[in-house]
Chain A
Amino acid sequence: MEQFVELSNGVKLMSCLKRHDRLYPSDATATGSKKQFMTDPQNADAQQLIEWMQRLAVGQDRTAFAGLFGYFAPRIKAYMMRSGSDNAAAEEFAQEAMLMVWRKANSFDANQASVATWVFTIARNKRIDAFRRINRPELDPEDPLLQPSAEPMQDDKVIEDQTAQAIAAAMEQLPEEQAVMLKMAFYEDKAHSEIADETGLPLGTVKSRLRLAMGKLRSLLGDVEL
Chain B
Amino acid sequence: MTAAHSAVTTDPEFGKTAGPVHHLSEDLLLDYASGALDEAASLFVVSHLTLCPDCRKELMRLEAVGGALFATMPPTDMSADALEKALAALDSSDLDGIPASASQKRSSDNSKISVLPQAVQKYIGGDVESLKWKRLGMGIETADIPLSSETGTNSGKRCFLLRVPPGKAVPQHTHTGTELVLILQGSYQDELGTFAKGDVAISDDTIDHRPVAAEGESCICLVVTDAPLRLTGPLGAIINLFVRV
B residues lining the A interface (CB < 8 Å):
7, 10, 13, 16-19, 26-27, 30-31, 33-39, 42-43, 46, 49-53, 56-57, 60-79, 82-83, 85-87, 89-90, 93, 98-103, 105-106, 108, 110, 113-114, 116-120, 122, 147-148, 150-154, 198
Total CB contacts across the A-B interface at under 8 A: 256
Size of the chain A interface, CB-CB below 8 angstroms: 93
Which residues of the other chain, B, contact A147 by a CB distance below 8 angstroms? 18-19, 50-53, 198
- Judge whether B69 and A128 touch: CB under 8 Å: no
CB pair A163–B16 under 8 Å, yes or no, is no
Knowing A73-B86, A78-B75, A132-B151 are in contact, say whether A214-B30 is a contact too (CB < 8 A).
Answer: yes
**In the complex, are the beta carbons of B101 and A187 less than 8 A apart?**
no
Q: Which of A91, A164, A185 contacts B71 (CB 8 A)?
A: A164
B82, B103, B148 pick with most chain A CB within 10 angstroms: B82
| A14 and B101 contact, Cβ closer than 8 Å, known pairs A112-B60, A147-B51, A189-B35 | yes
What are the residues of chain B within 8 A of A78 when measuring CB–CB?
Answer: 73-76
Q: Which residue of A lies closest to B67 (CB)?
A: A117
Q: Which of A81, A132, A142 has the most CB of B within 10 A?
A: A132
Give A75 to B27 CA distance when docked, in angstroms.
26
Task: For the complex, give the distance between the alpha carbons of A10 and B30 in Å.
Answer: 34
Cross-chain contact B61 with A226 (CB below 8 angstroms)? yes
Are A226 and B151 closer than 8 Å at their CB atoms? no
**Any B CB within 8 A of the CB of A50:** no
Take A171-B72, A186-B66 as given contacts and tell me if A144 and B39 are in contact as well, using a CB distance cutoff of 8 Å.
no
| CA gap between A124 and B33 in the complex, in Å | 9
Complex contact B151–A133 (CB within 8 A): yes
Residues in A with CB closer than 8 Å to B42 are 136-137
Interface presence of A60 (CB below 8 A): yes
**Among candidates B71, B74, B89, residue contacting A116 with C-beta atoms closer than 8 Å:** B71
Chain B CB count within 10 A is highest, among A82, A103, A105, A156, for A103
Whether the Cβ atoms of B34 and A124 lie closer than 8 Å is yes
Contact for A135 among B50, B56, B68, B147, CB less than 8 A: B147
**A14-B99, A56-B100, A121-B63 are contacts. A103–B70 as well, Cβ < 8 Å?**
no
Tell me the residues in window 75-120 of chain A with beta carbons closer than 8 Å to chain B beta carbons. 75, 77-79, 81-82, 90-91, 94-95, 98-99, 102-107, 112-114, 116-120
Bound CA–CA A120/B59 (angstroms) = 13
Question: In the complex the two chains form, what is the Cα distance from A116 to B68 in whole Å?
Answer: 7
Contact across chains for B65 and A140 when beta carbons are under 8 A apart: no
In angstroms, how far is the closest chain A Cβ from the Cβ of B28? 10
Residues of B contacting A107 with CB < 8 Å?
Answer: 103
Alpha-carbon gap, A127 to B36, bound state (A): 10
**Contact yes or no, A145 B73, CB < 8 A:** no
- Which 10 A-B pairs rank lowest in CB-CB distance, beginning with the nearest? A117-B67, A74-B75, A167-B68, A191-B36, A149-B53, A140-B118, A116-B71, A106-B101, A150-B17, A226-B61
0/1 string, A41-82, CB within 8 A of B gives 1: 010000000000000110010100110011001110111011
Is B65 a contact of A156 with CB atoms below 8 Å?
no
Which residues from chain A contact B87 at a C-beta distance below 8 Å? 62, 65-66
